[in-house]
């Protein structure tokens, strides 16, 4: 059995267990989507579909897989922020007794938006744990530190007695 198929089966089970209230097919497609990103190293739907097909995760043809992924993204019934809160509540307690470094970053996205996010520094990788999307060319309705406070309010309840440092990226 391909290691990717084994990974898929384990990940699918974890997603089913983790996101209880989410509808069953949505959980399966969320797991499918994430494993597609992991296998392809990108969030480009066509490349994800190629890798999912190559590794035998799905027997469907690539255009069908790509359409399935696109429908998932377009699904208004997926509550992104609630789903993310469940995920963070499940993942962050692992670090609750450790010394942590968080990085605050503002990344422009095209000319339309700026993504303000707080990420957990793990070795040399930054794992985003909270974010907010702000307009790029108009004045923000909310001040930067108010946004940061709101983002930290999502994270802090799950950190227990962790010693945390927040670093602002330049």
Q: What is the pLDDT of residues 104-116, one digit of tens each?
A: 999 888 888 999 9
Please tell me the distance from the alpha carbon of residue 85 to that of residue 97, in angstroms, as a whole number.
20
Whole-number pLDDT of residue 67 = 95
pLDDT category of residue 82 using cuts at 50, 70 and 90: confident
Neighbours of 82 (CB within 10 A): 12
Whole-number pLDDT of residue 103 = 95
User: Candidates 3.40.50, 2.40.128, 3.30.420, 3.30.70; correct CATH number of 88-168?
Assistant: 3.30.420
- For CATH 3.30.420, the residue range(s) in the chain are 88-168
pLDDT at 85 exceeding the cut of 90: no
Q: Distance between alpha carbon 138 and the CA centroid of its chain, in Å?
A: 27
DSSP tag of 140 = -
Neighbours of 56 (CB within 10 A): 12
pLDDT at 92 exceeding the cut of 70: yes
């Amino acid at each position: 059995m391909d290691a990717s198929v084994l990974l898929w089966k384990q990940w699918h089970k974890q997603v089913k267990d983790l996101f209880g209230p989410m509808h069953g097919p949505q959980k399966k497609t969320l797991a499918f989507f994430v494993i597609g990103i992991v296998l392809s190293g990108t969030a480009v739907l066509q490349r994800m579909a190629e890798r999912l097909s190559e590794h035998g995760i799905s027997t469907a043809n690539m255009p069908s897989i790509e359409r399935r992924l696109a429908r998932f993204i377009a699904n208004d019934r997926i509550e992104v922020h609630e789903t993310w809160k469940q995920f963070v509540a499940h993942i962050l307690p692992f670090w609750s007794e450790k010394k942590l470094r968080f990085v605050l970053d503002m990344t422009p996205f095209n000319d339309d938006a700026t993504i303000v996010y707080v990420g957990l520094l793990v070795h040399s990788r930054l794992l985003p744990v909270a974010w907010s999307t702000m307009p790029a060319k108009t004045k923000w309705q909310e001040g930067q530190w108010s946004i940061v406070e709101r983002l930290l309010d999502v994270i802090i309840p799950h950190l227990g007695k962790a010693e945390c440092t927040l670093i602002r990226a330049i």
